[in-house]
Structure 1
Amino acid sequence: MIFLIHKNGENVVRVLKNEQEIKVESSGCVAAFWELAENYPNEVIGWCEEELYEYLVRKNWNKIFHHNLIMASYAVKITFLPESIGYVDQLPFVNVNRQVKYPTWQMSSDVGGINGEVLLRFKDLFGSISNFDYLLNSVAKIGQQNGLFCYSNPELVQSFEKQELQATATSGQLFSFVFQNYNSIWTTILFWCLFKYEHKLPLWAYFQSFFKKKHFQRRINLPEVHLEHEARQISDSIDVIIPTMGRPQYLLQVLEDLSHQSLLPKTAIIVEQNPEVGSVSALPELHTRKWPFQIIHHFIHKTGACNARNISLAEVTSDWVFFADDDIRLKPDLLEEVISEATRYHFSAVNINCKQPGEETVFHKIKQWGSFGAGTSIVKSSFAKKCRFSAVFEHGFGEDADYGMQLRQEGCDIIYHPNLEIRHLKAPMGGFRQKPVMDWEKEKLLPKPSPTVMAFAIKYFTLEQIRGYKTSLFIKFYRNQPIKNPFAYIKNMRERWNKSHTWAMKLLKQEA
């Protein structure tokens, strides 16, 4: 473990290896950072603001950096980008929960670390960057897209009373970062939002950003992951929860696939829904056939996947829970492979690559995932049972995204794994699947976006993220609607946005 101790991210104070001071030729923080990576490629290169060094919890560092593709930091006093980054980025990695280990590409020069060999893979792209914070955030932003696991982790340092962080980026650095790391249109959206909401007019910062070198969607070939511990023998148990409605043959095929797994589930928890009072189950085979795992079967007359999954979660007793759809196909070693990979990497939630027949894989690298698949994920039960599917999103949009955010707020990262695959048959809807007509759908002027989507934004977005989402929604939707007069369109959309906000607040009050 190497520690680069610096002053304000600019000057090197000293460098320590195993508490012994070592020499570096560079006095500047960025140059010394690259130098240490070249000289010690197999070490974690840690950085630390001078006054924070005595507060490091060094016994935690080996646990935190348990393989070489982890980058972690913690902002005690300093962050780089201001809250206005939310105008251009509405993914979960922006609004960081500093109380838990939280997935984010936002790095702080206060304290953190990265493997030396991994850092060197970015030198050709970022070797000209002279600002230490800009470099750290650039590495994490592009690295996260290429399989680098990036976190804010409070266990790096002793507990501090939470304080407001000071953002150090200038307007020029903010615009340059956005231009380099996002689709170019977001640079203009940032400019507009700063003008509209903060009454700023950073013309020079805006124009000069277009002369920067693009990093957006750059591919970085990271080294193979080096794990500190070999995979232990799989002894973990797993329960499967499946809400179903009117598709008995598909559901039975899922159970058939589960019965041939090399790692058998302990329990399959089936919540069968049929809204017709007096109806009987369409799944007598659950009780008449012999299955190699326990079957828990709930037959209810209330529809809704959120309610069904919550009923199932209450029954979970195993180490892991597989959130499954009722129309998927599984290869025989899928569950064993997922648990094996999760154990090796210390993952707590895996989003499995779910493809329809004939569909190609889009993302080919294991990576931190900005979403959550409520029918294609395996999660540690210790996290899964702390969360519930909110009735706010029942029969609407966003219940899986909301559940994923609850997991992240508990310190559970969600990882997408392209090599673990499920086939999604996209079976025709079965049973009485008439979508309920929501109250807001009866209005002459329909809310935009859907009130459930708005409710999600209110729960988890910063103010800047909400404003950025609103701006981008107005721009994207313009070409898909009949009002072509821009002034009439904006007036119409404002009314629809306000309606959505009103309905969303009503929904959230019911949740509370």
Structure 2
Amino acid sequence: MIKFVHRHSAKIVAIYKDAKPLEGYADEVVTAFWAVANDYPDQWICWLEEEQVHNFNELVFSEIFHHKLIMASCAVKTSFFNKDIGYVDQFPFAVVNRSVNYPTWLMSSDMGAIHATVVLKFQKNFSRFSDFEYLLNAIAKLGQHNGLFCYHSPQLAIKRSENINYKAVEADLFSFTCQLYKKIRAVILFLCFMQYKKKYPFKSFIFNCFKLNFFATEIDFSDISIESSKPKTDHSIDVIIPTIGRPKHLLNVLKDVKKQSLLPQKVIVVEQNPDVGSTSDFDFAAEDWPFEIQHIFTHQTGACNARNLALEEVTASWVFFCDDDIRFKSNIIHEAFICVDQFGVGALNLNCKQENEKNTYFKVKQWASFGSGTSFVYSEKLKSLSFDIALEYGYGEDKDFGMQLRNQGVDIIYHPEIEIIHLKAPMGGFRTKTTKPWEQTKPIPKPSPTVMTYIQKNYTVEQQRGYQLILWFKFYKSQKIKNPFKYKRIMQKRWAVSERWAAKLQQNRRS
């Protein structure tokens, strides 16, 4: 390990390799950073603010950096971007739960580490960056998009301050947005500053719009071998399947599970039928199964409730969240555990697509969502979690559950090569046709109250405002009102109606 000690991200104080000083490097931090990476490509480079040297908890280093494609830092006192980044970024990575090992590209110069081999992947594109903190965040932002695993790791520090100081100024925010996001996001940022901060940053906006953009830049990590040093978990697994009115499709799923090279301990089927007096559509005893089938029958419909009932019955180390209208190959569970062991993660989202659908993403990467019908999760982390009933029959329950996992310190990764085929069978999605009460009102809320509930639970104020502005722009071309002032008034009313319905949903959940 090389320790890279700096003062305020500007000057080098000392550089150590295995506690021995390294001499001959420039005093300027970024110049020395590139030079050290080139001279020692097989080493971890650990950066430390001068006053944090004795606050660094080296005992946890191998636990956090358990494979080479990990970049992590800890904001002890300072971080770079404040919450204004939420105007342009509504992903969960742009807001950090600092109490757990949380997936994020937001990096602090207080302390952190990255492998030199990874650093060198960015030198061609970022060699002209002169601000060390800006460079760290740019590496993490572009790297995460290409398969680098980035975290805020509070365990790195022995002591942390409750208050964080943010260093980036307005010009840094606009520069970063223009260089690491689609440039249209800089327009969104400018409009948010005008509307919500009552500022008119013309200089920052115009000057940075002409900077080179790296959003679509490909970084190839394929030559870096990944094998997590974490202890491998027990591979016992339970499968949970909510279903309603699709016996033939459920039978096909069970047959796919039956063919697995690695069999589950138990399949928990939660069958829903709203008709009082109805009985099950299934006769599980008609066929021999090489696993236990635990059948739960309920008249209460809803996938959130069904999955919560199933989670109470889980006894294995892992859970396969499975839909009742998917198909998969006979080695999918085995392949999933190979990936789990290789990357040392607690949640794996498989590539779920329709037949003949082409892949959109091609790299194993940290995932911003969660698939409640296509995921593997370590069950130890599920004990205090449940699907939010306020989101029943709507949209957002998957993403909300994913946020609950992240706030438990569980990273969710996506694997493009482990595929599930989603048949989109009749009576799919919500399974039963329901008419929401807000669909009978005028104006109809926009977004839907369940989406608003998710937003209110998981977004910062800045992310909510950025989402609102982007929603209005996207929806403008598909509706009839073309007068922008009238359109804005109508959309503000629809947003307010959505907020009121969201409050009712949350109140009903608590009652």
Q: CA deviation at 1:385?
A: 2.8
Q: Is this contact kept in 2: 1:194–1:200, CA < 8 A?
A: yes
Q: CA deviation at 1:19?
A: 1.8
Q: Of residues 352, 355, 372 in structure 2, which corresponds to 1:354?
A: 352
* Separation in structure 2 between the aligned mates of residue 363 and residue 444 of structure 1, nearest angstrom: 39
* Separation in structure 2 between the aligned mates of residue 453 and residue 141 of structure 1, nearest angstrom: 26
Residue pairs, 1:50-61, within 5 angstroms: 50-61=50-61
Deviations 1:279-312 (A, max 9, x none): 111111x133221001100111111000000000
* Separation in structure 1 between the aligned mates of residue 295 and residue 161 of structure 2, nearest angstrom: 48
* Separation in structure 2 between the aligned mates of residue 193 and residue 40 of structure 1, nearest angstrom: 44
* Separation in structure 2 between the aligned mates of residue 440 and residue 47 of structure 1, nearest angstrom: 53
- 2:28 is equivalent to residue 39 of structure 1: no
Q: Is this contact kept in 1: 2:393–2:430, CA < 8 A?
A: no
* Separation in structure 2 between the aligned mates of residue 114 and residue 511 of structure 1, nearest angstrom: 44
Point out where structure 1 has 5 or more consecutive residues left out of the alignment: none
Deviations 1:444-494 (A, max 9, x none): 211111011111111111110011111111111111111111111111111
Q: Of residues 477, 480, 492 in structure 2, which corresponds to 1:479?
A: 477
Deviations 1:76-115 (A, max 9, x none): 1111112111001100001100000000011111111100
**1:403–1:338 Cα change, 3 Å:** same
Identity %, equivalent residues:
48
Q: Is this contact kept in 2: 1:274–1:432, CA < 8 A?
A: no
Task: Name the SS for the 2:92 alignment partner.
Answer: coil
* Separation in structure 1 between the aligned mates of residue 12 and residue 472 of structure 2, nearest angstrom: 47
Residue pairs, 1:173-212, within 5 angstroms: 173-212=172-211
Residue pairs, 1:36-435, within 5 angstroms: 36-163=36-163, 165-227=164-226, 235-284=234-283, 286-429=284-427, 433-435=431-433
Q: What code does the residue aligned with 1:152 have?
A: H
**1:234–1:486 Cα change, 3 Å:** closer
Range 208-217 or range 502-511, more displaced: 502-511
**1:430–1:143 Cα change, 3 Å:** closer
* Separation in structure 2 between the aligned mates of residue 431 and residue 92 of structure 1, nearest angstrom: 24
Q: CA deviation at 1:224?
A: 3.3
* Separation in structure 2 between the aligned mates of residue 431 and residue 78 of structure 1, nearest angstrom: 44
Q: Is this contact kept in 1: 2:455–2:464, CA < 8 A?
A: yes
Task: Name the SS for the 2:94 alignment partner.
Answer: coil
* Separation in structure 1 between the aligned mates of residue 155 and residue 232 of structure 2, nearest angstrom: 28
Q: Is this contact kept in 2: 1:234–1:336, CA < 8 A?
A: no
* Separation in structure 2 between the aligned mates of residue 128 and residue 147 of structure 1, nearest angstrom: 23
Q: Is this contact kept in 1: 2:68–2:226, CA < 8 A?
A: yes
* Separation in structure 2 between the aligned mates of residue 38 and residue 24 of structure 1, nearest angstrom: 14
* Separation in structure 2 between the aligned mates of residue 467 and residue 273 of structure 1, nearest angstrom: 38
Residue pairs, 1:438-453, within 5 angstroms: 438-453=436-451
Deviations 1:10-53 (A, max 9, x none): 10000112222222421111111111111111111010100011
Q: What TM-score do you get using the length of structure 2 for normalisation? A: 0.97
Q: What code does the residue aligned with 2:421 have?
A: R
* Separation in structure 1 between the aligned mates of residue 228 and residue 462 of structure 2, nearest angstrom: 42
* Separation in structure 2 between the aligned mates of residue 434 and residue 271 of structure 1, nearest angstrom: 15
**1:233–1:459 Cα change, 3 Å:** closer
**1:351–1:32 Cα change, 3 Å:** same
* Separation in structure 2 between the aligned mates of residue 230 and residue 182 of structure 1, nearest angstrom: 33
Q: Is this contact kept in 2: 1:118–1:223, CA < 8 A?
A: no
Task: Name the SS for the 2:41 alignment partner.
Answer: coil
Q: CA deviation at 1:502?
A: 1.1
Deviations 1:109-165 (A, max 9, x none): 1111100011001000000000001100100000001110000001111132421x2
* Separation in structure 1 between the aligned mates of residue 56 and residue 231 of structure 2, nearest angstrom: 30
Q: Is this contact kept in 2: 1:103–1:151, CA < 8 A?
A: yes
Deviations 1:362-394 (A, max 9, x none): 111000000000100000001123210010110
**1:302–1:28 Cα change, 3 Å:** same
Q: What TM-score do you get using the length of structure 1 for normalisation? A: 0.97
Q: CA deviation at 1:9?
A: 0.4
Point out where structure 2 has 5 or more consecutive residues left out of the alignment: none
Task: Name the SS for the 1:321 alignment partner.
Answer: strand
Q: CA deviation at 1:432?
A: 10
Q: Is this contact kept in 1: 2:228–2:341, CA < 8 A?
A: no
- 2:496 is equivalent to residue 491 of structure 1: no
Task: Name the SS for the 1:179 alignment partner.
Answer: helix
**1:485–1:227 Cα change, 3 Å:** closer
Q: What code does the residue aligned with 2:361 have?
A: F
Question: What is the number of residues matched between the two proteins?
Answer: 510
**1:430–1:359 Cα change, 3 Å:** closer
Task: Name the SS for the 2:356 alignment partner.
Answer: coil
Q: Is this contact kept in 2: 1:392–1:508, CA < 8 A?
A: yes
Deviations 1:309-350 (A, max 9, x none): 000000001010000001111211110110121012111000
* Separation in structure 1 between the aligned mates of residue 485 and residue 27 of structure 2, nearest angstrom: 56
**1:460–1:433 Cα change, 3 Å:** closer
Q: Is this contact kept in 2: 1:321–1:384, CA < 8 A?
A: no
Q: Is this contact kept in 2: 1:323–1:374, CA < 8 A?
A: yes
Q: What code does the residue aligned with 1:182 have?
A: Y
Q: What code does the residue aligned with 2:460 have?
A: T
Q: What code does the residue aligned with 1:102 have?
A: Y
* Separation in structure 1 between the aligned mates of residue 191 and residue 35 of structure 2, nearest angstrom: 40
What is the aligned partner in structure 2 of residue 30 from structure 1? 30
**1:160–1:217 Cα change, 3 Å:** same
**1:431–1:46 Cα change, 3 Å:** closer
**1:308–1:187 Cα change, 3 Å:** same
Task: Name the SS for the 2:352 alignment partner.
Answer: strand
Task: Name the SS for the 1:71 alignment partner.
Answer: strand
* Separation in structure 1 between the aligned mates of residue 50 and residue 35 of structure 2, nearest angstrom: 19
Q: Is this contact kept in 2: 1:348–1:380, CA < 8 A?
A: yes
Q: Is this contact kept in 2: 1:246–1:431, CA < 8 A?
A: no
Deviations 1:397-439 (A, max 9, x none): 1110110000000000100001111111111117994422222
Q: Is this contact kept in 2: 1:234–1:340, CA < 8 A?
A: no
Q: CA deviation at 1:229?
A: 5.6
* Separation in structure 1 between the aligned mates of residue 112 and residue 125 of structure 2, nearest angstrom: 21
Q: What code does the residue aligned with 1:295 have?
A: I
